[in-house]
Amino acid sequence: CYLLDSSFLHFHESDCDVGGSLSCESVLSLNTENILNQAKLLAEQKRFPFATDNDNTNEELAIAYMLIGSGLYDEAIRHFSTMLQEAIESFKEALKQKADFIDAYKSLGQAYRELGNFDAATESFQKALLLNQNHVQTLQLKGMILYHHGSLDEALKNFKRCLQLEPYNEVCQYMKGLSHVAMGQFYEGIKAQTKVMLNDPLPGQKASPEYLKVKYLREYSRYLHAHLDTPLTEYNTDIDLPGTFKDHWAKNLPFLIENYEEQPGLQPHIKDVLFQNFESYKPDVQELICVADHLGSMMQYETPGFLPNKRIHRAMGLATIEVMQAVQRTWANSKVRMNGKTRLMQWRDMFDIAVKWRRIADPDQPVLWLDQMPAQSLTRSFNNHINLIRGQVINMRYLEYFEKILHFIKDRILVYHGANNPKGLLEVREALEKVHKVEDLLPIMKQFNSKTRDGFTVNTKVPSLKDQGKEYDGFTIAITGDKVGNILFSVETQTTEERTQLYHAEIDALYKDLTAKGKILILSAELGEVDAVCNLILSLVYYFYNLMPLSRGSSVIAYSVIMGALMASGKEVSGKIPKGKASIKISKYTSSVLMDELVDFEAMTAPGSEAFSKIARSWMNLKSISPSYKSLPSVSETFPTLRTMIEVLNTDSPHCLKKTIVVV
């Protein structure tokens, strides 16, 4: 639940009226024949997503629309997935008829990309380029999928070729600059970024996303370059970067900052990062890298639509090991050096380990602590917002949670009417029993509450462990609009200063308890102590998820901390996210997603920390840690600077696939 580019299905305006025409009714009670009949009617009227000129395609899309509108989300996901597979077969059939059909290969690659099949997608793009090596759109698409797979050097080759053919292609120019910077090649990176900055939009012309982002990236690139060889323990990015700059960057606002003082230009004595061979590392460091790759892969969705990103896998795997080592030192009463000071580690220091690795893995994304934003940002509240339905737009990633949220809203409505309208409670309950989709709640609320007008909100509460009976604000569910097809169904968290302090107090208390029990665990290692420590770790992260204290990446950062802290307690996660837990992802660009929806939403919709711990442990499949972890070198000492961090992320390590990883 951070600021993100969500995956959406766009729906055309529908003029059906709830409780009116049959096509808007729930189909939960209809049999398959009736579903197909209603879909056929919708198809004929073209009142469904992505209407085409093909009657068969329209009918298939109409069926999916009926399923989504009726709350049958799993069936809808399977249907769309099947349609993608059928599209793939259609492209293959077209290529049998016309083997040199470049656009069919390009579209085939895009379809595979949507299913998260990296190998098949890149193979299709390559076949298109074999037919025409100058096909700019294919070069751009191939470069994008390679970047989001973590293959930056290969991605860069495609962006360079794209620019040879189209020098003013902003996407390729921006991605070329980003790829260079991510690999530590700052001189070439900033040169490319400057070219995008110089391409001002014409009067009345809308600025491209690349143009809006590029100045933030250039300033951040200069900052990174200046700190390449400074020990990471001696500075703090959240403190160093100007507050207004961070605020605007996190909110993706145009770069209009009064009295902004630019970061210093590149210093000639600070050289670019050089490529390091895997063999140049000592054997124990090679082992460390291979273990990190394995741990990072445990954070990857195993479901259609999500590309693995080997660069982020390694970064978050190294973060996990470093968290483990830091927590173990803390439990043994050792101090750590953070932000220029030597002291006992606090909970934020633990998360900061994962933050630094997530930041450097992809410098395009602002991973910033929200409580370090300017005071005025927190006074007005810094909202992390997700649209689940917006007009004719449905966010496919969260479809699985629609039913869970619907039941929660119903319960809260009943509680509200039980307190404020007890005589009418039975009538409200009977009306709610007929509601099977979120959209139908709006007319029900208008019927029973004149204050509803154009919408209503429901607030979740997070029970405190520290102060029994006390509750904190969770997230807000809002449903507004005037009819089906024109509603906004959204959830958001508001990061106000007061809310942040309450959550910090909760996390402080849990961390204090965790540290105390961790010290006992080192001495006793009894089964009961291990379970208590594991539950404390999951409870602490439960409040972190509900607080959502970072502008980006809260979920994968928190999960790295979970894995690392559990390893410090003698347990490791051996299970992956259950298949089917994540929705198929349909977006302009498929990027790697590691836990970035499932775990945080599980925490946010759980009734309490104990419930979340139970859910998480059910699929984590915790087992005793391998003793060989103790022999791994210190991550913080092996990679003490940004330069060394970038070097290890750049390093290719095919040898890891051939080796027996110590944790298996």
Residue range 59-110, pLDDT digits in tens? 655 665 555 555 554 455 455 555 556 666 666 666 677 777 777 778 777 7
Could you count the other beta carbons within 10 Å of the beta carbon of residue 136? 16
C-alpha to C-alpha distance for 607 and 312, rounded to whole angstroms: 31
Question: Which pLDDT score is estimated for 590?
Answer: 32
C-alpha to C-alpha distance for 130 and 133, rounded to whole angstroms: 6
- Most confident range (mean pLDDT) of 18-27, 138-147, 297-306, 431-440 is 138-147
- Report which of residues 270 and 441 the model is more confident about: 270
CB 273 within 8 A of CB 648: no
Which residue has 């970072």 as its token pair?
A: 550
Q: List 462's β-bridge partners, or say none.
A: 472
Which residue has 């992809």 as its token pair?
A: 362
Question: Which pLDDT score is estimated for 179?
Answer: 98
Could you count the other beta carbons within 10 Å of the beta carbon of residue 555? 27
Sequence-ordered list of residues with C-beta below 8 angstroms from that of 37, at least 6 positions apart, any chain: none
C-alpha to C-alpha distance for 274 and 252, rounded to whole angstroms: 32
Residue 18 predicted with pLDDT over 50: no
Q: Read off the pLDDT of each residue in 457-476 and give the average, rounded to a whole number.
A: 91
Helix or strand run (H / E) with residue 572 = strand 571-573
For residue 206, the SS3 value is coil
Q: Which amino acid is at 404?
A: K
Q: List 473's β-bridge partners, or say none.
A: 461
Q: Which amino acid is at 11?
A: F
The mean of the pLDDT values for the chain is 81
* Residue 369 token pair: 């602590």
pTM of the model: 0.82
Chain center to CA of 157: 27
Please name the CATH architecture into which domain 283-377+499-658 falls: Orthogonal Bundle (1.10)
Chain center to CA of 327: 26
* Residue 434 token pair: 């007929």
Q: Read off the pLDDT of each residue in 431-446 and give the average, rounded to a whole number.
A: 82
Sequence-ordered list of residues with C-beta below 8 angstroms from that of 84, at least 6 positions apart, any chain: 111, 114, 115, 304, 584
pLDDT band of residue 16 (cuts 50, 70, 90) is very low
- What CATH superfamily is the domain 11-217? Tetratricopeptide repeat domain (1.25.40.10)
| pLDDT tens, residue by residue, 272-293 | 999 999 999 999 999 999 999 9
11-217 against 283-377+499-658: fold identical:
no
CB 287 within 8 A of CB 254: no
Question: Which pLDDT score is estimated for 456?
Answer: 82
Q: Read off the pLDDT of each residue in 247-260 and give the average, rounded to a whole number.
A: 90
Longest Cα–Cα distance of the chain, Å, equals 78
Nearest-CA neighbor of 386 among 369, 399, 403?
399
Q: Read off the pLDDT of each residue in 524-543 and give the average, rounded to a whole number.
A: 88
Could you count the other beta carbons within 10 Å of the beta carbon of residue 490? 19
* Residue 531 token pair: 């379970």
| Residue extents of the structural domains in the chain | 11-217, 283-377+499-658, 382-495
Q: Read off the pLDDT of each residue in 445-459 and give the average, rounded to a whole number.
A: 76
Residue 237 predicted with pLDDT over 90: yes
Which residue has 């595979």 as its token pair?
A: 112
| pLDDT tens, residue by residue, 603-615 | 888 889 999 999 8
- Report which of residues 450 and 206 the model is more confident about: 206
| pLDDT tens, residue by residue, 623-650 | 999 999 999 999 999 999 999 999 999 9
